Amino acid sequence: MSEEKSTQGKKSRAKGQRFETKVRQDLERMGWVVSKWMNTVDYDREGKTGKVVPAKRKYNPFLKALSIGTGFPDFVCFKRNKMIVNKNISDKYETINGAIIIPCSEEDSDNYEVIGLEVKANGYLDQIEKGMCIWLLENKIFSRILIAKNSKEKGKIEYVDFDVKYNKR
């Protein structure tokens, strides 16, 4: 019986890792820069307080290795909001390898959106994860948090905005 559960667990973890990779590749195709989030929230449910702390590494005695990437949410993603397209602008500003370097002014300081992404094949968060999401959003760690889940259409990924699904803020 325990061998069956062990085999099932291995298959589930491998399936989860494949889904995470698929989600990451999908977001990168959409122009997002995606990185594994190495932090988590030290969250107190009663007081609804928390702080961002480095995620603990998990030791696997069978592989004799530490696993990294146990943070919540799974990924931090960022993307430039506005693209400045003006071919005559290159005469006025410095260029590096063809890229135009434009000094950032006060009104341009919010050119990037930074979001958290949690990958859940079924799309459901538990109570602690919901509380951590609320805390991360209220404390402006992320502008929004998306939950990536399998779509009803085979092979598709659906992205659900935490605020829209749970309407907690």
Domains of the chain and CATH, by start:
20-80+110-166 (3.40.1350)
| Size of the chain, expressed as the number of residues it contains | 169
Q: What is the pLDDT of residue 94?
A: 53
Give the span between the Cα atoms of 54 and 71, in whole angstroms.
8
For residue 46, what are its two tokens?
Answer: 């009663």
Q: Which two tokens stand for residue 108?
A: 């341009």
**Cα 146-22-153 angle, rounded to 5 deg:** 75
3-state helix, strand, coil in the chain (%, to 5): 30, 30, 40
Q: Give the model's pLDDT for residue 99.
A: 53
pLDDT at 29: 93
Whole-number pLDDT of residue 97: 45
**Residues 41/132, Cβ–Cβ less than 8 Å:** yes
Position 71 scores a pLDDT of 85
- What is the chain's pLDDT, residue by residue, as a tens digit (169 residues)? 567 888 888 888 888 889 999 999 999 999 899 999 989 888 777 777 788 888 877 666 666 666 665 789 999 999 877 554 444 555 555 554 455 555 555 455 557 889 999 999 998 999 989 989 999 999 999 999 999 999 888 889 999 999 988 876 5
Instruction: Report pLDDT for 13.
Output: 83
Task: Please count the CA atoms within 13 angstroms of the CA of 105 that sit on its side-chain side.
Answer: 1
The number of angstroms, rounded, from the C-alpha of 169 to the middle of its chain's C-alpha atoms is 20
